[in-house]
Amino acid sequence: MNNQTDILLSTLPVMEAFYTVQGEGAYTGNAAYFIRLGGCDVGCVWCDVKESWDINAHPHRSIEEITHEAQKYPARLAVITGGEPLMHSLDELTLALKKAGFQTNIETSGAHPLSGTWDWICFSPKKFKAPLPEIYEAAHELKIVVYHPSDFAWAEGFAQKVRAECKLYLQPEWDKSETMLPRIIEYVKENPQWKISLQTHKFMNIP
């Protein structure tokens, strides 16, 4: 294996990395270190981090450097997100984070092969690129972004495929919250197997 290949295997394109409080899903309210990787081919029209899409627009950082930066903060919860983080092999990153004492969580559309060792997988499928079947058994959390009334039926299709233990969340798309949140509230009241996820970090004005 040549040196250039070695370098590529030991680095990842990092759009940003920051210490904050998880704002969505099952770990809402927990202090966490977020690692946002560059690259996404899913293409959600309502994505609020479209600057992450270009895989070549972000600097490569070594696994050692990424892990070292994460260790500067007291929480030991690392959340890998994107973009679509599974466009990259995440085996080395999760191994390094676990050796440093971190719980490893990922947020993914499931549209790429699963790599890495995960304590928690948040599966958030998108209509723009179908998920791979392997994600259904692996997911701990199913989080559906509700943009249109038809998304409720779409969500139920995925709920039938994940494990019985998988937690189910409906989350209003931020710009549609005024119209969709009341619908979600009523839906959850009628279908209590679902829970509501809100982007609480936006209410708190934090990353």
**Residues 88-111: tens digit of each pLDDT:** 999 999 999 999 999 999 999 999
Residues in the chain: 207
Mean pLDDT of 22-45: 94
**Fold topology of 3-203:** TIM Barrel (3.20.20)
Residues 143/146/151/154 CA torsion (nearest 10 deg): -10
Closest to 15 in 3D by CA, of 74, 77, 82: 82
The pTM of the full predicted model, rounded to 2 decimals, is 0.92
Residue 196: is its pLDDT beyond 50? yes
pLDDT of 46 reads: 67
pLDDT of 154 reads: 97
Q: What is the distance between the alpha carbons of residues 188 and 146, in angstroms, rounded to a whole number?
A: 13
pLDDT of 8 reads: 47
What DSSP character marks residue 129?
B
Mean pLDDT, the chain, rounded, equals 93
pLDDT tens digits, 149-174 = 999 999 999 999 999 999 999 999 99
Other Cβ atoms less than 10 A from the Cβ of 193: the count is 10
Confidence grade of residue 4 (pLDDT, cut at 50, 70, 90): very low
Confidence grade of residue 5 (pLDDT, cut at 50, 70, 90): very low
